[in-house]
Amino acid sequence: MNLNRVDKSHSISLYYQLKLIIQKKIENKEWKPFDRIPSEKVLCDYNKISPMTVRQAINALCDEGFLYKVRGKGTFVAKRQLERDLSELSSLTEMLKDEGYSVKRKVLDLATIPATKNIADKIGIKKGDDVLKIKRLMLLEKDPFYYETGYLALGLCQNVSREQFSQHSIYTIIENICGLNIDYAHLNMEIHPCKDEHCAILKVKEGTPLLYLDQIIYLVGGRPVHFVEAVTKGEKYRYTIFRKRRRAVAP
């Protein structure tokens, strides 16, 4: 068994040592989601510890969402929620790839269209000006989980190919392909029951709660360049943000 043994001479409790050993296996992706871990008996014999100690470690990991039990079949690695830090302006797909997940971008539509007043106002162009409309579907481990419709100001970012949109995040396209400098973005998020078209695209049942987002990306200097409307399966990951208390200036 390719598994470290607990150290009975160590001051740390045996159950907690075993818990950390199993947890490290999962976090290092040596044991992947839905893999069955060694049985309690195997873990007992291998570490020469009691069933109660093994059970305590496994139960703790089940409570924390690392493992789950199936009656009569054993204990398995759980598929944990992915965590995304909203305080950092970064690509979701690139973050997932860095975590070792298989992510694919699929371009469903790419066309130059005249901007409506709403889109023109969002990205700082005139109504009727050309805008690049991009529809993309993101697949996580072959499962559709994120669908977006984006609008890119053609006057600032031209000659981007369909292949580039299938390979790169919008941040990479704007900065590395178009040569522009992103400063910040304004993001709105709401939860709504899924709409018909989104149910079909994301393969969920009608009425399933989905996370709807819209975001405007701004360049250094405050010029908007890209607007996107997106919908995603909220159970796939959770958002976190660092918040700091604003202190009043003393009189």
- Model confidence pLDDT, tens digit, residues 185-220: 999 989 889 878 899 999 988 888 898 999 999 999
| DSSP per-residue codes, the chain | ---PPP-TTSSS-HHHHHHHHHHHHHHTTSS-TTPBPPPHHHHHHHHT--HHHHHHHHHHHHHTTSEEEETTTEEEE--PPEEEETTS---HHHHHHHTT--EEEEEEEEEEEEPPHHHHHHHT--TT-EEEEEEEEEEETTEEEEEEEEEEETTTS----HHHHHHS-HHHIIIIIS---EEEEEEEEEEEEPPHHHHHHHT--TT-EEEEEEEEEEETTS-EEEEEEEEE-GGGEEEE----PPPPPP-
14-77: CATH topology is Arc Repressor Mutant, subunit A (1.10.10)
* Higher-confidence position of 23 and 84: 23
CB atoms within 10 A of CB 23: 17
Average pLDDT, rounded, for the chain: 87
Q: Do the first three CATH levels of 14-77 and 82-240 match, i.e. the same topology?
A: no
Is beta strand 209-219 parallel, antiparallel or unpaired with respect to 182-193? antiparallel
In the structure, what pLDDT confidence band is assigned to residue 249 with cuts at 50, 70 and 90?
low
pLDDT band at 237 (very low <50, low <70, confident <90, very high): low
What global pTM score does this model have? 0.67
Taking alpha carbons only, the member of 233, 208, 251, 240 closest to residue 85 is 240
Place of tokens 């399933």: 208
pLDDT at residue 201, as a whole number: 93
Could you tell me which residue, 12 or 64, shows the higher pLDDT? 12
Which CATH number applies to 82-240?
3.40.1410.10
Q: How confident is the model at residue 178 (pLDDT cuts 50, 70, 90)?
A: very high
Q: What's the half-sphere exposure (Cβ side, CA atoms, 13 Å) at 44?
A: 10
* 124 vs 86, higher pLDDT: 124
Banded pLDDT at 81 (limits 50, 70, 90): low
Q: 55-73 pLDDT, tens per residue?
A: 999 999 998 888 989 888 9
pLDDT given at position 241 = 62
152-162 average pLDDT score: 90
Domain definitions of the chain by residue range: 14-77, 82-240
Please tell me which of 3-12, 30-39, 81-90, 114-123 the model is most confident about, judged by mean pLDDT: 114-123
The stretch 124-140 carries a mean pLDDT of 94
pLDDT value, residue 32: 86
